[in-house]
Amino acid sequence: MRGPLAGVAVLFDLDGTLIDTAGDLAASMNHVLRQAGLRPAPLESVRHLIGHGARAMLKAGLAEAGAPPASETALDAAVAAFVAHYRANIAVRSSPFPGAIDAIKALKDDGASIAICTNKREELARALVGALGVGGLFDALIGGDTAGAAKPDPRPVRRCIEETGGAKAVLVGDSDTDIRAAAAAGVPCLVARFGYGPLDLCDEALALFSTYGELPPLVRWAVSQRP
């Protein structure tokens, strides 16, 4: 029996949208900062650095900690140390946001295909959802290194839609990056208020939600707005 969302792909950003990963990302960044003799960063200052991939996050974190500009070679080494630490501690503090898994299951029961569209490296994204025991919920997973570009480029969004075979799609995110990627790909964006942001472009999203209990009916409404 076809559900009301048959043929619809619901694409989720990962960090700050589906999974609260800030604690583990901060721990790995602080591992690198300590190695460099720099003071560790508080969790709240790390949250706003998440969403553009490890290299961008670490470069900004080093600058905020007062490090002089690093050469590309030095930054490569710092990123390698960050990734190695993060891979080994990928789900120590991370967990799905409340209600996220139930919302995904409800969307799947309605016939939707579910994908992850993240700027995290695909390898690390797969390791994270695997460690949390939820990898089987997703029909596709596209990382920041999968489609030849990262969000806000539309290519990862389009690749997700292609791999799920969706005739329609909705992107669920938490930041301006997601809003811009969705707009560039021509799909509506639903935005979590509780994510990492920034959300300077929130007026350009189709709608915002505060809890995952709101999401399934919001997706159905979003799809109904598109021909």
Q: Look up tokens 């990302």; give the residue.
A: 25
Q: What is the structure's pLDDT at 70?
A: 80
Q: What is the structure's pLDDT at 127?
A: 97
Q: What is the structure's pLDDT at 74?
A: 87
At 75, is the secondary structure helix, strand, or coil? helix
Superfamily holding 8-20+95-224: HAD superfamily/HAD-like (3.40.50.1000)
> From residue 51, how far is each of 7, 90, 112, 207, 218 by CA, in Å?
28, 16, 25, 20, 24
CA distance linking residue 210 with residue 218, whole number of Å: 11
Q: What is the structure's pLDDT at 71?
A: 86
Identify the segments of the chain with pLDDT beneath 70: 1, 227
Helix-helix angle 72-88:54-64, to 10 degrees: 110
| Cis preceding linkage at 68, omega within 30 | no
CATH 1.10.150 domain span(s) along the chain: 22-88
Q: What is the structure's pLDDT at 161?
A: 97
113 forms bridges with which residues in the sheet? 9
CATH 3.40.50.1000 domain span(s) along the chain: 8-20+95-224
Catalytic residue among 13, 110, 139, 174: 13
**Is 13 a known active-site residue?**
yes
The CATH architecture annotation of domain 22-88 reads Orthogonal Bundle (1.10)
For residue 25, give the amino acid letter: L
Q: What is the structure's pLDDT at 138?
A: 98
CA distance linking residue 187 with residue 158, whole number of Å: 10
Report yes or no: 76 and 56 within 8 Å, Cβ to Cβ: no
CA distance linking residue 65 with residue 78, whole number of Å: 14
189 forms bridges with which residues in the sheet? 171
What is the pTM for the complete model shown?
0.94
**Cα four-point dihedral sign 208, 211, 217, 223:** positive
Q: What is the structure's pLDDT at 169?
A: 97
